[in-house]
Structure 1
Amino acid sequence: MERMAWKRAVVLVLDSVGIGALPDASRYGDEGSNTVGNTARAVGGLKVPHLNGLGLGRLVAGPGLEAVPEPLASYGRMAERAPGKDTTTGHWEMMGCTLDRPLPTYPDGFPPEVIEPFEQAIGRKVLGNRAASGTEIIQELGDEHVRTGRPIVYTSADSVFQVAAHEDVIPPGELYRICAVAREQLRGEHAVGRVIARPFLGPFDEEGPGGRRRVFRRTDNRRDFSLAPPRPTLLDRLSEQGLAVRAVGKISDIFAGRGITRSVHAHGNQAVLETTLDLLLHAQEPGLIFANCVDFDMLWGHRNDARGYAGGLEEVDRFLPRLLDALAPDDRLILTADHGCDPTTPSTDHSREYVPLLWHAPGRPGLALGTRQTFADLGATLADGFGLGPSDEGTSFLPELPGEER
């Protein structure tokens, strides 16, 4: 291993925070998508001075997005090379494992050759079996599920097989076992990116615009059973060289635990940010801290909640000074995303978008990194700076970064 250009790097993925439609977005029905820009316009402006200070306003236009003259980070945007627009594909490509074909999706539900062996293996018939919003399908089928004990199976525009169950009907441990069965069965042409356990509770009485209603609510006991990357990623290379790879949030699930030396399953953006800060302050071993802020996608993007999305961006912005202050001179902080999920479009699905690339090195000026042709450029640059040598995928922009010398 060569000399390292830095000691620790923090990659903070703002899940679904896209910054404009990719040239091929029309193939995915995503023309005009721009998660950050459209959100800013929908709410009449964003208050994100620290994100602007890093260079976000130089990458995307909208009310409150200011192109500051001297950003504190090197700034650019990245295009996804792999087909698709899902979480797994985006994260894998960032870490140097680009798929050449999309993971399978099931807009019409799962075929008999998938559902029938699954039902036989778990000894239960299922409900649902269609593409649906997770929050909506449990309202629709929750009572029938409680009455019959049949798990609710559904999917989305992503490559996912999701199983929802009431915690008092199918306890989380049993639901995890059921999902592990699905993960084992979903191979070959049906190898979906993730099998997701979705426990819920209720019904609860809730006041809303239409008056009082009974609702079921998902709990924090979600668990993902992911397909393992088909090839080694940067995480494998780092851990094999004895460097720490600390995963925060759902990162470990996305990579099926591969190459990760420590995982903290923090729930929600605030917990992910606090955990990332704690690792910066107390985990001094060289290596990577890799974190995912999922609320943008899960709570606001998929629910077309532009105001909630804007509030989430402003929440991260308010937290940013604490992260920046915790960085040592030989630390790096990188903010990026894995796809879009524009809350202002009719679709509730992910959107095919460019993602931001904000690379902060304490005390060093930022510069323009342009448009990177693949997310893998990020992984290639990290590999280069950690002294691992060239990567099979992506182009390192280390030589473009001011003062980054090994």
Structure 2
Amino acid sequence: MYRCCEIARELTLKDEWKVGRVIARPYLGDKEHGFTRTSNRHDYALKPYGETALNVLKDKGYDVISVGKISDIFDGEGITESHKSKSSVHGMEQTLEIMDKDFKGLCFVNLVDFDALWGHRRNPKGYAEELEKFDVNLGNVLDKLKEDDLLIITADHGNDPTYTGSDHTREHVPFIAYSPSMNGNGILETCDTFATIGATIADNFDVKMPEDTIGKSVLEKLN
């Protein structure tokens, strides 16, 4: 399967195609007993068309640590260390281990089970149970945050497990930010673009994004 996807990726790099991603999704099982998706997914993605916050941070000497499929999504661009996850719970366990290390930079985490196992499969019970597991580990993350750490929780799209069909749904995604150094709490205005988050992360580390970047930092509003 991986070899077939590598061939498909090579073919679809041509200008007339330019497919964003070719995705290998291995399954175990048979026709009689059904099939179960494994954790060995691999995304063959296009490289970003320009510099991202990840590139800028890496170029300035910061660590850019990915957990889950982040490295695949960016085709390894801007990543200094990559960790594959077997599940969302495993991804949170990896994140907690990384937080115990002495690193300076960004830890970028993707928790795929909300989407792959419960959202697309329209399983609200499984989604709720996954959220409860995440809540427990989120508490552990909060306990480990240092005074100058910034935690951002977001999503790249909606996937309502109670909706019809199996495709992504079109909710506004969350943008939740927290740091022990924050003086209070409040509600941010709806952002014009998802690029706001990348610009805010770059600003947090005092590095400049390319001039043509559409995202504008809201770091000052967080404080």
Query: TM tier, shorter chain?
Result: over 0.9
Instruction: Provide the rounded CA distance (Å) in 1 between the counterparts of 2:8 and 2:169.
Output: 27
Shift of 1:372: 0.8
1:399 aligns with 2:220: yes
SS at match of 2:110: strand
Kindly indicate whether the alpha-carbon contact (under 8 Å) linking 1:268 and 1:294 is maintained by their aligned counterparts in 2.
Answer: yes
Matches within 5 A, 1:6-405: 175-187=1-13, 188-203=15-30, 214-282=33-101, 284-364=102-182, 365-389=184-208, 392-402=213-223
- Unaligned runs of 5+ residues in structure 1 are 1-174, 205-212
8 Å contact kept, 2:66–2:108: yes
Query: CA offset at residue 363 of structure 1?
Result: 4.3
Q: Letter of the aligned partner of 1:183 in structure 2?
A: R
8 Å CA contact 2:39–2:87 kept in 1: the answer is: no
Query: Does the 8 Å CA contact 1:182/1:195 hold for their aligned counterparts?
Result: yes
* Kept after mapping to 1: 8 A contact 2:53/2:209: no
Deviations 1:286-345 (A, max 9, x none): 110000010010001111111111111121112111000111111111111110011111
Give the partner amino acid of 2:61.
G
Taking every aligned residue pair, what percent have the same amino acid on both sides? 47
SS of aligned partner of 2:143: helix
Larger radius of gyration: 1
Cα distance in 2 for partners of 1:379, 1:363 equals 20
- Where in structure 2 are there 5+ consecutive unaligned residues? none
**CA-CA distance at 1:196 after TM superposition:** 1.4
Contact 1:251–1:292 at 8 Å: present in 2 too? yes
Aligned length: 219
Runs of 4+, deviation exceeding 6 Å: none
Within 2, Cα distance between the matches of 1:375 and 1:181? 32
Q: Is the 8 A contact 2:56 2:209 kept in 1?
A: no
Instruction: Indicate if the aligned counterparts of 1:197 and 1:222 stay in contact, CA closer than 8 A.
Output: yes
Q: Which amino acid aligns with 2:171?
A: E
Q: TM-score, normalised by structure 2?
A: 0.93
- The structure showing larger relative contact order (alpha-carbon pairs under 8 Å, at least 6 residues apart) is 1
Q: Tell me the alpha carbon deviations over residues 167-215 of structure 1, each in whole angstroms, 9 at most, x when there is no partner.
A: xxxxxxxx222211110001223222211122223338xxxxxxxx522
**Alignment partners' CA distance in 2, 1:281 and 1:382:** 21
The question of whether the paired residues in 2 share the 8 Å contact of 1:342 and 1:351 is answered with yes
Distance of 2:39 and 2:222 partners within structure 1? 40
**Distance in structure 2 (CA, Å) of the matches to 1:224 and 1:194:** 6
Question: Is 1:203–1:217's contact at 8 Å kept on the other side of the alignment?
Answer: no
Find the aligned partners of 1:390 and 1:265 in 2 and give their Cα distance.
28
TM-score normalised by length of structure 1: 0.52
Q: Secondary structure at the match of 1:181?
A: helix
Measure the CA separation in 1 of the matches of 2:18 and 2:30. Answer: 34
**Bigger strand fraction:** 1
Aligned to 2:26, what secondary structure does the other structure show?
Answer: strand
Once structures 1 and 2 are overlaid, which stretch shifts more, 183-192 or 250-259? Answer: 183-192
RMSD: 1.5
Do 1:249 and 1:265's aligned partners in 2 also have CA atoms closer than 8 Å? yes
Whole-angstrom CA distance in 1 between matches of 2:30 and 2:50:
44
**Residues in 2 aligned to 1:376 and 1:299: alpha-carbon distance in whole angstroms:** 27
Deviation at 1:350, TM superposition (A): 0.6
CA distance in 2 between counterparts of 1:332 and 1:261 reads 19
**Which digits, 9 at most, give the CA deviation of each residue in 1:261-281, with x for residues without a partner?**
000011211011001111111
